[in-house]
Structure 1
Amino acid sequence: MMHLFEVIVYFHVVAGTIGLVAFWGPVATRKGSRPHRKWGRASCYGFAAAGTLAIAMALLSLYGPEERIPSFTDRELFAGLFGWMMLYLGLLTLGFADYGLSVVKHARDRAALRSPRYQLVIAAVIVSALWCGYFGLRVGHPLMPIVAAIGLVAMVLQQVFIWKPGDVLPRAYVGEHFRALIGMGISAYTAFLSVGLIRMFPDHVFNPLIWAGPSSIGVGLIIYFTIQTKPKPRPAKA
């Protein structure tokens, strides 16, 4: 009989594959076009489902009755990487997807993003990131505080945009939208590695070069789209 964890992994892989494939659609299509929106929604929904299932797998790894990957002898490090870090990455993926869609939905009303509905999601990401970073320092694995720091910086930048006093430039939300959804791709690819890498390439599960790949590509895309979409201030009247 298939165990619950294996069932969740199966659906996680299906949802994650949809998100991973659809992710490149918005990158390649004209921004604002119908294909761009269609691929973007597919990517967000796929990643959101995968993130939710990643949270379920993390909780089962931490509190489930079965011991995951018995060959992994350092159980505290296992709890850190495949429990708390996966939980954080799942929440981070959900947070990016939620913010990336909502910042467009409320492009003309930033105050809506200050409601508990959105602030609680950001708070959950921040709390999980802080715990992930602390746990990583405790078990002596630098990967956990590094990925936690990326999420914390992203959440701070989001809050700066949301709570910035006064008016912002009309299309300032576009850069926020791109950064959030590319960040969603980074966190999802990293989470995918944390699940699949140990099964496909167990000897390289802690290779920092492999783990740094999604972040390097994603940060490059963020910088590129930030420059491309940076709103230009209106010239002052004479």
Structure 2
Amino acid sequence: MDLFHALVILHIVTGTVGLVAFWIPVGTKKGARAHRRWGWIACYGFLGAGALAIAMALLSLYGPQTRIPSVTDRTLFAGLFGWMMLYLGILTIGFVDYGLAVVRHSRERARLRSPRYQAVIAAVVVSGAWCGYFGASIGQPLMVLVAVVGIVAMALQEVFIFRREVPRGAHVGEHFRALIGMGISAYTAFLSVGLVRSFPEQVFNPMIWAGPSVIGVSLILFFTLRSPNRRRPARASGPARAGN
């Protein structure tokens, strides 16, 4: 077994752990022990899958050209299984990092402005911009779509990070949306590994690839509309007027 196929197996294992564990914290009481425990398992699973996706993407771009013999268009292969996979791996890690950070620093939101967190967001934006550019240059709107979704998500995160005031508890919505985004990117990256081997004739079907994004973005929009971020921050009570 060569290195690439060993990475594929590890990617499937870690991705399966994340994909299964992901739904338990979504469906359990927020803050409960099961929510926290399974949330950590899902996050670590997705972090592993994201890192392995990056490694496989780099091997696809710079390794032997026969990784998937059924794909004869090597430029298209480099786009979908190289640059898009690389971007999705970074995006998955970025969502996990932010989703955990907004809870860890819920009382010190300014910590999210540090180079440590801004570098991760910048990596997502740069890789997404290149993915979108490469996709546009080879006529693949799918690559442009996933790039736009990730870049917009990063922009919304920056709005939250740099806002002067946010409502109390707003970090909960940010946490949820980030981890839903994590699920979108991980499911999409996972499809690119498993789908091409099980159903190679469907590997470029845009409806299959768009499925996780449609479902995930719908959930994000639904919870965004219900989020306290849409309410104005409560004003602090001022001193009582003289004579009252």
**TM-score band, normalised by the shorter chain?**
over 0.9
Corresponding residue for residue 140 of structure 1? 139
Cα RMSD (Å) of the superposition?
A: 1.6
Structure 2 unaligned residues grouped into runs of 5+: none
2:94–2:121 contact (8 Å) kept in structure 1: yes
Bigger CA radius of gyration: 2
- 1:132-172 CA distances to partner (integer Å, 9 max, x unpaired)? 000001111111001000000000001111111x2211211
Corresponding residue for residue 222 of structure 2? 224
- 1:94-144 CA distances to partner (integer Å, 9 max, x unpaired)? 000000000100001111001111011000000000000000011111110
Residue 140 of structure 2 aligns to a residue whose secondary structure is coil
Q: Give the alignment of 1:60-209 within 5 angstroms.
A: 60-164=59-163, 166-209=164-207
* In structure 1, C-alpha distance between the alignment counterparts of 2:65 and 2:199, rounded to whole Å: 23
Off by >3 Å, runs of 4+ in structure 1 = 231-238
Shift, 1:26, TM fit: 1.0
Q: Percent identity?
A: 69
2:135–2:143 contact (8 Å) kept in structure 1: yes
Corresponding residue for residue 59 of structure 1? 58
Among 212, 215, 224, the alignment partner of 1:214 is: 212
Shift, 1:220, TM fit: 2.2
Shift, 1:236, TM fit: 8.5
Shift, 1:67, TM fit: 2.1
* In structure 2, C-alpha distance between the alignment counterparts of 1:44 and 1:196, rounded to whole Å: 20
* In structure 1, C-alpha distance between the alignment counterparts of 2:170 and 2:65, rounded to whole Å: 48
TM-score (structure 2 length as normaliser): 0.92
* In structure 1, C-alpha distance between the alignment counterparts of 2:162 and 2:133, rounded to whole Å: 27
Structure 1 unaligned residues grouped into runs of 5+: none
Residue 23 of structure 1 aligns to a residue whose secondary structure is helix
What number of residue pairs does the alignment pair up? 236
TM-score (structure 1 length as normaliser): 0.95
